[in-house]
Amino acid sequence: MTATSNDLEALIVENSPMQQRVIADALKKRGVSRIRFAPDGSDAFEQMNAALPSFVVSSLYLPDMLATDLVQMMRGRVELVHVPFILVSSETKPQVIDAIRQAGACTFLPKPFSEAQLAAAMRSTISYLQAEESLALGAGIDLETLRVLIVDDSANSRRFLHHVLEQLGVEHFLEAADGREAARILGQDYVDLVITDYNMPDMNGKELIEHIRTQSWQSSVPILMVTGEIDADRLAEAKNAGVSAICEKPFDPPTIRVLIERALAG
């Protein structure tokens, strides 16, 4: 059954009553009528464990913790691993934003946000929650046997990607926590697609791409980079190294679906 806004229950994690009202009113305009509130991360986590929400909307700076900590707590519990998390924040520091990207936030909203931005966030959330249309692959590529290598030092990011790809019909996965481990796997196992982060220890995404294109027996494998990296020069280096496509974290399932289809089509 296709999910709609009317089917969803939101948990708003925000200490300010005024901000609670602003977010709740905006969600109600988008058709979300079932809304709960939590003033801090601890209360939110307790509520989530008692009754699972459809998705969480949270500010970054909570009275008892950062939203980053709350997301990590959620991703550490099997029941909460796949609950979408929408961050509402005016924060722009790359190191802060990247940390919550890596923790597993699904969507970002600026503070203040527009109706169009909220609508896009809701579309992304609904796409993540419902079964996506399977990948449309060209001749010679069988979805049932497609093998994908996910490379990311964040276990939460790997789980998120794994879940989205499963919704798209992918069944066979290999995983690596950094480029060095991925290079070892590629030396032994055949894969149809590599999805990698940029910023990783030991061997980063650009170095992995260079290794694949110049040293691996699978030098022509499509490579999709899914990353929170925003430095234009670094991303240009990744493109020059031979990445097939680059997708920004956080991403929505329809975007990743299109990019995978294009990458596999060559």
Does position 2 have pLDDT exceeding 60, yes or no?
no
- C-alpha distances out from residue 181 to 25, 176, 200, 203, Å: 47, 6, 11, 9
Give percent of the chain with pLDDT exceeding 70.
Answer: 93
CA distance 265 to 263: 5
pLDDT for 4: 66
pLDDT at site 140 = 61
**For 88-174, where are the alpha helices, taking DSSP H only?**
94-103, 115-129, 155-167
If one compares 84 and 128, the residue with the highest pLDDT of the two is: 84
Residue 3 pLDDT exceeds 60: no
- Least reliable range by pLDDT among 1-5, 16-20, 70-74, 167-171: 1-5
Q: What is the pLDDT of residue 1?
A: 41
- For residue 162, the model assigns a pLDDT of 86
Does residue 106 contact residue 128 with C-beta atoms inside 8 Å?
yes
Check pLDDT > 90 for residue 251: no
Which of the two residues, 41 and 77, has the higher pLDDT score? Answer: 41
Does the domain at 143-265 match CATH 3.30.590.20? Answer given as: no
User: Over pLDDT 90: what percentage of the chain?
Assistant: 45
Q: Given pLDDT bands bounded at 50, 70 and 90, which one contains residue 205?
A: very high
The pLDDT tens digits for 145-183 are: 889 999 998 888 888 888 888 888 888 999 999 999 999
Tell me the CB-side half-sphere exposure of residue 6, using CA atoms within 13 A. Answer: 1
pLDDT band at 210 (very low <50, low <70, confident <90, very high): very high
Contacts of 143 (CB under 8 A, 6+ apart): 134, 135, 137, 169, 170
Break the chain into its structural domains and give their ranges: 5-129, 143-265
- Report domain 5-129's class: alpha beta
Question: What digits encode the pLDDT tens for the residues 88-114?
Answer: 988 878 777 777 777 767 688 888 888
Cβ(52)–Cβ(80) under 8 Å? Answer: yes
Looking at residue 222, its pLDDT comes to 93
Residues 14, 61 contacting (CB under 8 angstroms): no
Average pLDDT, the chain: 87
pLDDT at 175: 96
pLDDT at 131: 59
- What residues contact 111, with CB distance under 8 A and at least 6 apart? 59, 88, 89, 90
What's the confidence (pLDDT) of residue 225? 92
Tell me the pLDDT tens digit for each residue of 193-204: 999 999 898 899
Query: pLDDT-based confidence at 22, cuts 50/70/90?
Result: very high
Question: Do 5-129 and 143-265 share a fold?
Answer: yes
What is the predicted pLDDT for the residue at 42? 97
pLDDT: is 122 or 58 the higher one? Answer: 58
Reference 81, options 42, 113, 52, 51; nearest CA is 52
